[in-house]
Amino acid sequence: AYLVQRGIPVMGHVGLRPQAVLTDGAFKAKGRTDEERLRVMSEAEATADAGAFAVVIEGVAEGLARDITLAIDKPTIGIGASSACDGQILVTPDMLGLFDWTPKFVRRYADLRGEIDRAVAAYADDVKARRFPAEVETYFSKKPATL
């Protein structure tokens, strides 16, 4: 509420919070037990009541995401919280396949890590074989060099 009272827009974040994984326990879905469900729902309601303009719901069971979306009067943005939210987030490096591991809720739309690995290997091969830089990538003086 402190930030909102000073006119600073705040978006809340409930459920799995990667920034708090050391205090929260682990990278695992939230809201599967009654205790977790009550805690996350309470946090979402308190966040909305404190004046957040929206609430990110991350890594929670689908039923809880739906209940939060129905219970609060702010838009909910899901990341691993099912289609029951008002909107969705998908982290760009995850969707582009830049990492070896991604959470269950990520859909990879590309394999850019594979493309990057191939490009770097081709570059290294060209440098080692002295194919890069070639004449086309090299600047030349108009006058012959003098020593």
pLDDT digits (tens, 9 = 90+) for 3-13: 999 999 999 99
Q: What is the pLDDT of residues 73-106, one digit of tens each?
A: 999 999 999 999 999 999 999 999 999 888 889 9
Q: Establish how many alpha carbons lie within 13 A of residue 84's alpha carbon, considering only the half-sphere containing its beta carbon.
A: 18
Strands 76-79 and 54-58: parallel
Cβ-contact 67, 44 below 8 angstroms: no
**What's the pTM?**
0.80
Question: Rounded to 5 degrees, what angle do the CA atoms 46, 80, 103 make?
Answer: 130
Judge whether 137 counts as a catalytic residue: no
Residues 36, 43, 45, 58: which is the catalytic one? 58
